[in-house]
Amino acid sequence: MTAIPPPLVDLRGKRGLVVGIANAQSIAAGCAQAFARCGATLAATYLNAKAEPHVRLVTAALDCPILLPCDVHEPGQMEAVFARITQEWGGLDFLLHSIAFAPREDLQGRVVDSSAEGFATAMDISCHSFLRMARLAEPLMAQGGCLLTVSFYGSERVVANYNMMGPVKAALESTVRYTAAELGQKGIRAHAISPGPILTRAASGIAHFDELLAHSANSAPEHLGVDVGDVGALAAFLVSDAARHITGTIIPVDGGQHLLA
């Protein structure tokens, strides 16, 4: 009798870090569930003590032996997460950076009017933190690995009310390309997934987000909105060995909306 080969997207034996779960609606929660379903062991983080119980509700159902606080804007917290992973696992196969922040007054105003401080904060938390994570992950990915982040179409085109996050996501996407080029020789790959609008806590900070959701579901070629499970399915594929020669991409999961003028 011939043995049945393992599934193509097989994350058994892989260890991944998930940063960005706020609650069950988070894109990072959908990805964590997909990673776990494919057999991965996870480390996850929560922003602060207030967020912790909501994050635990998600991670309790997963194989997630490491759960630590991580505010990327607070010096030392990200380093502590990687120190624990080094101590417990000695290596890391993939990570998901699924975080963004912009001060509300800057986010809801014109890009032209954004403050230098607000812009710098948004860039630090939403973009430069990906580079810091990549740098900390690099020595742990001696056998190669995969770095994922999450972007949005407002990086390329002007989307009403997306405002300052547009330029920030454009920088994030470029960051992904340079990271993929610089770490490719070590077998470390990098991607951004670019979902269509999904109602999450971060999304609720964008003015008139309900209109963006409705427009997207009505206008996308599929005439359907996407959900965090759709994003998770792509994320699980990208970090798997099945995608080992794919790197440096920005992949839409948006029912085809990026195709439209």
Smallest CA-to-CA distance from 169 within 239, 122, 105 is with 122
Residues 39 and 75: their CA atoms lie apart, in Å, by: 32
Query: Among residues 141 and 148, whose Cβ is nearest to ligand NAD?
Result: 148
Q: How big is the CA angle at 75 (ends 120 and 58), to the nearest 5 degrees?
A: 90
Query: Among residues 94 and 152, whose Cβ is nearest to ligand NAD?
Result: 152
Residues 82 and 72: their CA atoms lie apart, in Å, by: 12
Q: What minimum distance in Å lies between the beta carbon of 45 and ligand NAD?
A: 7
Query: Among residues 143 and 219, whose Cβ is nearest to ligand NAD?
Result: 219
Q: What minimum distance in Å lies between the beta carbon of 151 and ligand NAD?
A: 6
Q: Count CA atoms closer than 13 A to 247's CA, side-chain side.
A: 22
Binding residues vs ligand NAD (CB under 6 A): 20-22, 26-28, 47, 51, 70-73, 98-101, 125, 150, 152, 195, 197-198, 200-203
Q: What minimum distance in Å lies between the beta carbon of 48 and ligand NAD?
A: 8
Query: Among residues 6 and 76, whose Cβ is nearest to ligand NAD?
Result: 76
Catalytic residue flag (residue 46): no
Q: Give the end-to-end CA distance of the chain in Å, rounded to a whole number.
A: 54
Q: What minimum distance in Å lies between the beta carbon of 100 and ligand NAD?
A: 3
Q: What minimum distance in Å lies between the beta carbon of 252 and ligand NAD?
A: 10
Query: Among residues 25 and 240, whose Cβ is nearest to ligand NAD?
Result: 25
Task: Please tell me the chain's helix, strand, coil percentages from 3-state DSSP, rounded to the nearest 5.
Answer: 45, 15, 40
CB 97 within 8 A of CB 32: no
Q: What minimum distance in Å lies between the beta carbon of 261 and ligand NAD?
A: 20
Q: How big is the CA angle at 177 (ends 229 and 130), to the nearest 5 degrees?
A: 65
DSSP conformation class of 141:
-
Query: Among residues 213 and 242, whose Cβ is nearest to ligand NAD?
Result: 213
The one catalytic residue in 14, 153, 162, 178 is 162
Residues contacting 258, CB < 8 A, separation 6+ = 153, 156, 194, 252
Residues contacting 145, CB < 8 A, separation 6+ = 92, 93, 94, 95, 137, 187, 188, 189
Residues 45 and 51: their CA atoms lie apart, in Å, by: 10
Which residues belong to the active site?
162, 169
